[in-house]
Amino acid sequence: MDRMKIKANAKINLALAVKYKREDNYHEIESIFQEIDFSDEIRLTKSEDVVFATNASNLGNDEDNLCVRAARLLQKEYEIPGLDIFLQKEIPAGSGLGGGSSDAAAVIKAGLALYKVNIPLPELIRSAARLGADIPFFLAGGTSYVSGIGEVLAPVCMNIPYNILLILPELHISTVWAYKNLNLTLTKKKGDYKFRGFRCQDLKLDDFASEFHNDFEPAVFRHHPELEQIKSDLYDQGAQYAALSGSGSGIFGLFASELEAKRAKDFFCSTRRCLLTKPVYRESI
């Protein structure tokens, strides 16, 4: 086998809390990451070196590109000769859906499979964390309680059926900007953790709105009030829970009923890019 095609699924943050700024200037977080069935597509071919191309005009093909960095990691750590990578981009940048990290994880998984190199997942997660904090999650997928700077994973058994309406405004919000505008209050304590995985496993969809939140919403909504309006409209259209995903501009609503989700989609789709999708559940790592 000389070539391979792989989906790089997005994620939503069902909950996200920023705990405190660490001595290394990174922020300690806790979050519930949920893989969803909305993806970029990556096509890989064996090559003598790393070559990258994409349909996305805003992505470079230099050494800062996460897909290129992922391929270089495989060369350095696992002696893979090279990969010719084509990325069909669908997940918007700056939407809080983790598209870049998911693409890098897909290159790692598919590149190893293409060259028939078998690396235990825990070792792979440790190596990939050097490229980006979210990449370990995308190597495992499913549902995880995430802590540290995003690289510490604990699988969560949350097999709840629901429908996701994803609203994707044409707005890029950078992670750097979001953290810069975040107000970390003095009440934040290092031991004050809200979303521990063992607690979330017993939740029902109706519990999400009272148990979950995203700490980035106040700052993002203050600068982009149209996003707060979208969240409010999702609740008006019958969502059991709605939130900003990560620090980006993507807003999701969760619906128990597929019919209600489709009706809500009809409400939004004339003015916004939106799509219906579902959570992706996997066996625990």
pLDDT at 123: 93
Which candidate, 81, 74, 85, places its Cα nearest to that of 124? 74
pLDDT at 91: 96
Q: From CA 75, how far away is CA 5, in angstroms rounded?
A: 20
Token look-up 């922020």 returns 27
Question: Mean pLDDT over residues 83-108, rounded?
Answer: 96
Please name the amino acid found at residue 108.
Answer: I
Tens of pLDDT, residues 219-244: 999 999 999 999 999 999 999 999 99
- Average pLDDT of the residues of the chain: 91
Q: Do residues 237 and 134 share a domain?
A: no
Tens of pLDDT, residues 20-41: 888 888 888 999 999 999 999 9
Tens of pLDDT, residues 172-214: 999 889 998 987 764 455 556 677 655 677 789 999 999 999 9
Among 156-160, 166-170, 228-232, 239-243, where is mean pLDDT lowest?
A: 156-160
Residue 84 clears pLDDT 60, i.e. is over it: yes
- Which tokens hold the place of 112? 């190893």
Domain ranges, residue 140: 3-155
Q: Are 208 and 240 in contact (CB under 8 A)?
A: yes
Q: What is the CATH number of the domain that holds 222?
A: 3.30.70.890
Among the three residues 155, 182, 212, which one is the final residue of a domain in this structure? 155
CB atoms inside a 10 Å sphere around CB 64:
8
Model confidence, pTM = 0.93
pLDDT at 135: 96
Overall number of domains in the chain: 2
pLDDT at 228: 97
Question: Mean pLDDT over residues 269-276, rounded?
Answer: 94
pLDDT at 187: 42
Among the three residues 155, 175, 197, which one is the final residue of a domain in this structure? 155
Residue 158 clears pLDDT 90, i.e. is over it: no
Q: From CA 110, how far away is CA 106, in angstroms rounded?
A: 6
Residues of the chain with pLDDT > 70: what percent? 94
Q: Do residues 145 and 168 share a domain?
A: no
Q: Do residues 150 and 188 share a domain?
A: no
Question: Mean pLDDT over residues 258-269, rounded?
Answer: 96
Instruction: Point out the catalytic residue in the list 134, 215, 231, 265.
Output: 134
Q: What is the CATH number of the domain that holds 140?
A: 3.30.230.10
pLDDT at 186: 42
109 is catalytic: no
Q: Do residues 98 and 199 share a domain?
A: no
Residue 256 clears pLDDT 80, i.e. is over it: yes
Number of H helices, E strands in the chain: 10, 10
Within the chain, residue ranges assigned H as helices are: 66-78, 99-114, 121-128, 135-140, 175-180, 197-200, 208-211, 217-223, 225-236, 258-268
Residue 50 clears pLDDT 80, i.e. is over it: yes
Among 59-68, 114-123, 162-171, 210-219, where is mean pLDDT lowest?
A: 59-68
Q: From CA 218, how far away is CA 184, in angstroms rounded?
A: 11
pLDDT at 146: 92
134 is catalytic: yes
pLDDT at 213: 94
